[in-house]
Amino acid sequence: MKFRSVSPSVTDSPQVVTAPKRFSLKVALWLLDSPRLGHSPNVKHFAGHLLKQPARAGVVVAQSRLGQLMCRECGNARDRRIGHDLLRQAARAGDRIAQRELGQIED
């Protein structure tokens, strides 16, 4: 019995594409910066979901904006603590907005 070898293109692992992450980051920032849309709680919730993955991946801008969003908009202490941690990570990475926000929170 002969076995056919599998072509290398089938066994190769798919390459990770970072373009959708950047796209979701740009969409989230656009939504939050939009004068009309940025004030809606539903839009903020959706933008938070879009920012979550880039923030986990270490994108400083995403960490900063998600941290601000969680500190300002979330009602429970757990989410505010997570937002504070995200702001602290972004501030350590040199983000000026996160440093300023941390200064306001800690005062």
19-106: CATH, from 1.10.260, 1.25.40, 1.20.1050, 3.30.70: 1.25.40
Q: Is the dihedral of CA 40, 42, 43, 44 positive or negative?
A: positive
Element at 99 (helix H, strand E): helix 96-106
106 band by pLDDT with thresholds 50, 70 and 90: confident
Which sequence spans correspond to the domains of the chain? 19-106
Q: In this predicted model, which residue has the larger pLDDT, 95 or 11?
A: 95
Look up the pTM and report it: 0.76
Q: Per residue in 50-79, pLDDT tens?
A: 999 999 999 999 999 999 999 988 889 999
Which of 102, 25, 95 lies closest to 60 in space, CA to CA?
Answer: 95
Amino acid 64 reads S
What proportions of the chain, in percent to the nearest 5, are helix, strand and coil? 70, 0, 30
Q: Name the token pair of 107.
A: 């005062």
Q: Per residue in 1-51, pLDDT tens?
A: 565 655 555 555 444 445 666 888 999 999 999 999 999 999 999 999 999
The confidence score (pLDDT) of residue 22 equals: 82
29 vs 33: CA distance, rounded Å: 6
2 vs 77: CA distance, rounded Å: 63
The confidence score (pLDDT) of residue 23 equals: 86
27 vs 94: CA distance, rounded Å: 23
Task: Name the DSSP class of 76.
Answer: S
